[in-house]
Amino acid sequence: MNSPSAPLAAFDFVLFGATGDLALRKLLPALFRQFVDGRLRGDNGILGVAREAQSAEDFRLTVQDALRRAVPDADEAHLDAFLEHVDYLALDATRDEGWEAFAAACHARDPRVRVFYLSVGPEIFAPLCARLARYKLNGPDSRLVVEKPLGRDLASAVAINDAIGAAFPERQIFRIDHYLGKETVQNLLALRFGNALFEPLWNTSHIEQVRITVAETLGVGSRGPYYDATGALRDMVQNHLLQLLCMIAMEPPSSLDPDAIRDEKLKVLRALKPIDFGNAGRLTVRGQYRGGLTADGMARGYLEDIGKPASGTETFVALKAELSNWRWAGVPFYLVTGKRLPEQLAEIEIRFRSIPHSIFADGGPIAANRLVLRLQPDEGIKLLLMSKYPDSDGLHLSPVSLDVDFAEAFRVRQLDAYERLLLDVVRGKLTLFMHRDEIEAAWRWIDPIVQAWSRASTGPLPYGAGSWGPTAAAAFVQRGGEPDGSLEGSPARLAGG
């Protein structure tokens, strides 16, 4: 069964970087699924743009192969029909040749919504946007979608935002973070503000700590050169994990208006207590994977993956963030992410404070209540409570969980994050996209951490591929910043329960 949704208005989707991995693995399959669901109209056009000189037919064959891999159960008739909407143009975003003809072809299909998706490196954003503006392709029905990374520090992020902002007004710029398109993240709004149960407890009086964990089983793969210049802090924490923190910690917005929600998220970022050279040693742990045994066999270490004898780039980060406001004062937010960990896992755990006094003297330990929001592999919500163990003598308690699996609860096909976000782009809904102020506020908090690490006398701690990261990180998260190397386990497992 398909998710209920209205058909889209007439639109064209222009995909710069159409031969890249993101386009073939995520974006075009997302559009194909929407085509199968009937949301794309017969007059929609999908134009792939890249530097490679090839025919439209050759590009369609590439797209066909990619769709068969991404959607194994795809119907051949649907594939053929979808490919009729797909065209290709060889165009260099940094040169003027071909742009006049490209612009004329676009204008010939006006009026309609036109989405320009920049699945290219950030160094291309400025010249590409300048040409879109020069050829008047930035009209009120145009949308500009930009992928991360939006800079590698505050200065570069400001430069990028200035460049794209000179060509498009802010209301037409969609800075995409696919984590914000996940069902569980959006359900945070419904969970908090559509129910009377949790909001009265959503504060420092009732919540002991929050843990946000994104664990990956893969190494850097083909992204080695990019990743070695970036690292886990910039690649994952600056955008994905901080956005999740904002969704958890923000105040109730006045409405679902995009600006109302983004204003509240911005307040969270501005309330983050600084982490710098003076306290980074206490509040952060970074690691780098070495060779080790994984579920798929022996895996190489990071240095072998990138082909270098040495590197100070972190592939694992655990840090303790705190907010300076009344709602969250004193509540630690543990942010954990890493590569080459044992499980592919993304979870948010809200750990409530323990009961002040137990009347169950013989009932065993009383575990604190926890609310776990699963983003992957299976999206859903789990609430852990204490209950009497059946058929026991006396009142012996045991933890039980109340589970909501979204796929089971609603019996509808779950939209992929990119599907949902692309639909919102076409409809002009900015709620799940970042304002430039959010991007820059996040970098203002991240930059001092990067600088503190660059001044540190030691580099990332080693951890074996297939393990749960440096031992010190498990102690750090479990005991609130007192790593002594004596604990086993993982931040991810601790976060997931």
Question: Token pair for residue 137?
Answer: 């392709």
User: Which secondary structure element, helix H or strand E, spans residue 320, and what is its range?
Assistant: strand 316-321
Task: Evaluate whether 431 touches 180 at the Cβ level (below 8 Å).
Answer: no
**Alpha-carbon span 111 to 426, nearest angstrom:** 14
Question: Token pair for residue 89?
Answer: 């143009």
Tokens 């006045």: give the residue: 254
Question: Token pair for residue 266?
Answer: 């911005």
User: Which secondary structure element, helix H or strand E, spans residue 30, and what is its range?
Assistant: helix 28-36
177-187 b/e (C-beta count within 10 Å ≥ 16 → b) = bbbbbbbbbbb
Q: How many C-beta atoms surround the C-beta of residue 358 within 10 A?
A: 13
Of 268, 278, 279, 305, the C-alpha closest to 290 is: 305
Residue 48: φ, ψ to 5°: -85, 130
Task: Evaluate whether 118 touches 23 at the Cβ level (below 8 Å).
Answer: no
Contact partners, residue 494, CB within 8 Å, separation at least 6: 211, 474, 477, 478
Task: Evaluate whether 431 touches 258 at the Cβ level (below 8 Å).
Answer: yes
Contact partners, residue 119, CB within 8 Å, separation at least 6: 15, 16, 17, 18, 20, 22, 23, 27, 147
Q: Which residues are catalytic?
A: 240
Residues linked to residue 336 through DSSP beta bridges, in sequence order:
213, 318
DSSP-derived secondary structure letter, 416: P
3-state DSSP assignment of residue 45: strand
